[in-house]
Amino acid sequence: MRLRTGLDVLEYEIRQEQAATIGRLAQELRDALDALDAFDMRGSSGKAAADTGDPQRARLVDAAAYALWNFAVQRECSGFRETDQVLKDYAVPAEVRAKIGAIWSRELDS
């Protein structure tokens, strides 16, 4: 059994916080993608094609891109580099991928 130093305890707590943050951001991404998908389904009577010119839909795409950006950055800061796999696992639409990192203001939600 190894003695735990103050540094060990601090590193452990940092890893816990990183994991909790990644989990929260993953849920925010899932929620944003689900909201976009629900909007598309509602607007197209069950078909996946939606009006890309709709301002509400544009806000949902922006919100999903912002959530993806936050999630990807946090993962990379924590040492996880396989963003391509995340894009596949979450089935992130190309239009959301294209906007990742774009400046987005939460004021647009109003």
pTM above 0.85, yes or no: no
Instruction: Give me the pLDDT at residue 25, please.
Output: 97
User: 60 versus 42: which is more confidently predicted?
Assistant: 60
Query: Strands, DSSP E only, in the chain?
Result: none
Directed axis angle between helix 55-77 and helix 6-43, to 10°? Answer: 160
Contacts of 47 (CB under 8 A, 6+ apart): 41
- Residue-wise pLDDT for 44-99, tens only, equals 664 445 566 789 999 999 999 999 999 999 999 999 988 899 899 999 999 999 99
Alpha-carbon distance 52 to 62, whole Å? 12
Query: What residues does each domain of the chain span?
Result: 6-109
